[in-house]
Structure 1
Amino acid sequence: MTATLWASGCSTAPLDVGHATTAAVATGPRTATIPSADPIPVAESPTPRLPATVRTHDGHTVTVTDVSRIVALDRYGSYGTAVFALGLGRNLVGRDIATKFPAAAAVPLMTPGGTDANVEAIIAQRPTVVLTDASLPNAAVLERQLTSTGILVVVGDADRTVAGTDALLRFTAAALGVPGPGDQLTHRVDTQLADAKRAIPPDADRPRIAFVYARGTGLLILGGPGSGADSLIDAIGGRDAGTAAGLTDAFTSLTSEGLIKAAPDVLLMMSDGLASVGGVDGLLKVPGVAETPAGRNRRVIDMDDGELLSFGARTGDVAMALSRALYGPR
């Protein structure tokens, strides 16, 4: 199934040419959006085939016998989103802060500080299985404390890339005993990613796109290789500006010199992050931004914090929305 996607605020106009920009790329600020705030289930209340045995990323073999009370926790909201997309949203009794779509709003939050999970709060939910990975800072302590109380913990791979999406979804589906819906979900995402590839204009060069994470002007980070955003940028026909500029770390503190050297044609940000620096006007006051091709043309794409790097059930939706925002309606 392929969803219809759109982006608000798109326009096309002659551009100040940067490293690899053409008139095929839209100009001005845009917000990339997907049509459904909630992940669309591929099945309604599927019957899990249990017990389900899986090999976890930390090298253990675990057998899941009950998925009636699921806690899903990672930095990106990947597992919580997948649980809903697989049709098991009613079974979710605990979530991370990145699982923030409307259908999950009533599910108790287990990471009140943003990333560290509250062990006592998790135990209080009496989960039958906890899905998590090393993307949480206290992941090792969390697993040890939960398993000591008899709670089953399933540890997945913490890496997040477009290429790893199918494996993440199949692993989650297998652990929850719903491999059939897992196959349906991966097929849907793969179809959407293929659609996003086809949406790249044939005459477009590869614009340099810089992912900037912000929480006020005091915390500005430039994405590089392994940030996750780099794989999304590649999926929509762009080049990751941080990687092209020679960054070796996934995230590096943003400096005016580093940003000017990266010379992005487009800046990609989370919506809350953009708002935290005062929107596009405030962003242009950050040293170095106005001196980039992106700044000169106000080419800033923002997307909801809970969607942009969620990776998994909505990766295809995200890629298509970003493609529309980057190139404009086609």
Structure 2
Amino acid sequence: MFRLSSRLPFRTARSLVLAASLAASPALAAGAPVPDVSGARHLVSIGGSVTEIIYALGAEDRLVARDTTSLFPPAAQALPDVGYIRALSPEGVLSTGPDAILTLEGSGPPEALEVLRQAGVPIVTVPEDYSGEGVLRKVEIVGQALGLADKAADLSASLRDALARAEEQAATRESDLKVLFVLSLSGGNVMAAGEHTAAAGIMKLAHLTNAVSGFGGYKPLTPEAITEAAPDVILMMSNSGDHAASRETVLAHPVLGLTPAARNNRILALDGLYLLGFGPRTAEAADELSRTVAEWAAEEAGQ
């Protein structure tokens, strides 16, 4: 059991955890009917993976706005931004004139979504699940909601093949390295990923071992816990904002800098939505992560 640091300011810790974990929000249960918004021509998309799927289905001409996390494809950034996925303003969303809203599970706050429902705007909440099957479920629901089931089936088939190839490649790796995902280094505190997180999900897809266990979500680690974890690889987002960790801050950190990962310069930073979004590019991200670690493992075996 790893000990968690109590030195991280509560407000900072709370904001970071909210940025990286799910909030309560009603989503479609397995087998539940998907709301039909196929006639909608003024869509607002909330959630980076949902927006990516809409583009992948060729329905981007129906989008009138998106949230702050919807950064891919780059063309999406030209759309009006209605705010952060978990801090939506109903007035801002309604100002874009939507006739339907597609949201990722965890969008909110709940009060904002309730105002939108009372305004008569249909809302489709797409469930979040940090797995390959979760990606395919997202595609299925978005496709059904938009009346594009055939296109969604074709996209799902392609993604299923890509996920299978990525997993097959990852399974061939002969040796393993322990990976520590660092969400932030705000104030020198190491906010790391435990179980039931997107980071844990992508590690599982890449057949990698999380260097820490015994807790869920994203939490700060004590120096003793980091030393005990002794990660061989440090994984980070390359675009995590004000609290970003960087190669330089990792190497300069008094504890992380002493880990095998830092000593061997095995620090990998990837785009956050690409790495943790669990959308159409997830197989590619898992494959890149797995291949990079396989190269490092081979180097270690040859030493």
Which band: TM-score by shorter chain? 0.7 to 0.9
Q: Secondary structure at the match of 1:267?
A: strand
Q: Is the 8 A contact 1:64 1:129 kept in 2?
A: yes
Q: In the alignment, what sits opposite 2:277?
A: 310
For 1:56, the aligned partner's letter is: L
Q: In the alignment, what sits opposite 1:281?
A: 248
Q: Secondary structure at the match of 2:212?
A: helix
Q: Secondary structure at the match of 1:269?
A: strand
- Compared with structure 1, are the counterparts of its residues 86 and 223 closer, same or farther at alpha carbon in structure 2 (3 Å cutoff)? same
Q: In the alignment, what sits opposite 1:7?
A: none
In the alignment, which of 66, 69, 73 is matched to residue 42 of structure 2? 69
CA distance in 2, matches of 1:201, 1:227: 21
How high is the TM-score relative to the length of structure 1?
Answer: 0.74
For 1:265, the aligned partner's letter is: D
Q: Is the 8 A contact 1:217 1:286 kept in 2?
A: no
Percent of paired sites with the same residue: 26
For 1:129, the aligned partner's letter is: A
Matched, 1:266 2:239: no
In the alignment, which of 199, 202, 222 is matched to residue 172 of structure 2? 202
Q: Is the 8 A contact 2:53 2:280 kept in 1?
A: yes
Q: In the alignment, what sits opposite 2:66?
A: 95
Offset of residue 57 of structure 1: 4.3
- Compared with structure 1, are the counterparts of its residues 173 and 220 closer, same or farther at alpha carbon in structure 2 (3 Å cutoff)? farther
Q: Secondary structure at the match of 2:252?
A: coil
Q: Is the 8 A contact 2:182 2:245 kept in 1?
A: no
Q: In the alignment, what sits opposite 1:110?
A: 82
Offset of residue 278 of structure 1: 6.7
Q: In the alignment, what sits opposite 1:56?
A: 28
In the alignment, which of 239, 242, 248 is matched to residue 212 of structure 2? 242
For 1:184, the aligned partner's letter is: D
Extract unaligned runs of 5+ from structure 1: 1-54
- Compared with structure 1, are the counterparts of its residues 270 and 61 closer, same or farther at alpha carbon in structure 2 (3 Å cutoff)? closer
Offset of residue 120 of structure 1: 1.0
Q: Is the 8 A contact 2:233 2:268 kept in 1?
A: yes
Higher relative contact order (CA 8 A, sep 6+): 1
Offset of residue 156 of structure 1: 2.1
Deviations 1:75-132 (A, max 9, x none): xx111111111111121112122211211111111115x6311211110111121111
For 2:66, the aligned partner's letter is: R
CA RMSD of aligned residues (A): 2.6
Offset of residue 67 of structure 1: 2.6
Offset of residue 146 of structure 1: 0.5
CA distance in 1, matches of 2:106, 2:166: 27
Mapping of 1:139-150 within 5 angstroms? 140-150=110-120
Q: In the alignment, what sits opposite 2:257?
A: 290
Offset of residue 177 of structure 1: 0.9
In the alignment, which of 133, 137, 148 is matched to residue 178 of structure 1? 148
Q: Is the 8 A contact 2:130 2:202 kept in 1?
A: no
Offset of residue 224 of structure 1: 0.8
Q: Is the 8 A contact 2:34 2:141 kept in 1?
A: no
Q: In the alignment, what sits opposite 2:293?
A: 326
Q: How many residues align?
A: 269
Deviations 1:163-213 (A, max 9, x none): 311111111111111111111111121111222123337352232111110
How high is the TM-score relative to the length of structure 2?
Answer: 0.80
Q: Give the helix-richer structure, 1 or 2.
A: 2
Q: Is the 8 A contact 1:274 1:280 kept in 2?
A: no
Q: In the alignment, what sits opposite 2:13?
A: none
CA distance in 1, matches of 2:190, 2:118: 39
Extract unaligned runs of 5+ from structure 2: 1-26, 299-303
Offset of residue 312 of structure 1: 1.9
CA distance in 1, matches of 2:142, 2:237: 26
Q: Is the 8 A contact 1:215 1:273 kept in 2?
A: no
